[in-house]
Amino acid sequence: MEFTVRAMERGDIPRILMIENCSFPSPWTYQAFSSELKNKFAVYFVVLADNEIVGYAGMWLCPGEAHVTTVAVHPEFRGRGLGKLLMKTLIEYSRVRGAATMVLEVRPSNVAALNLYKSLGFRQIGWRKNYYIETREDALVMLRNLQQETFLKQRNEKR
């Protein structure tokens, strides 16, 4: 099976909502995704398996910082590295556009996501109490430094 990543489009939202509804206790609405696609700071990608959307990820890209807003993969496609593919897409997109850091929040109970983020070089920098309103669950705040990577890559390219 072949997987490809592309920018999210408005026509993708119905399929994204199907994945959203089976991934989160308080799923985003059509209007929330539609609004994000109009947000000049928001960047969203989808991953396709044989031309069908099976996952998505998004972030806000502000001067100097990228903030991951959502990542989800359809349950039938989890465990195939698609979350990692989406996160690497966000990381590279941010790094190339000058973001120094990338930050995100994650549920402490989401062990799969925590392991993914740690494997990608994120480290915990904080804790948000009762961050997830629907479950009153806290969030771990995680950060990855992108500026050092850019410096190292540029230095290696000069050699």
- How many structural domains are present in the chain? 1
Range of the domain at 46: 3-158
Catalytic residue numbers read 105, 117
Round to whole Å and give the CA distance between 98 and 146: 8
Round to whole Å and give the CA distance between 7 and 126: 30
Q: Show the low-confidence residues of the chain (pLDDT under 50).
A: 150-151
pLDDT number for residue 131 = 85
pLDDT number for residue 1 = 82
Per-residue pLDDT reduced to its tens digit, 61-80? 999 999 999 999 999 999 99
pLDDT number for residue 150 = 47
CATH of the domain at 54: 3.40.630.30
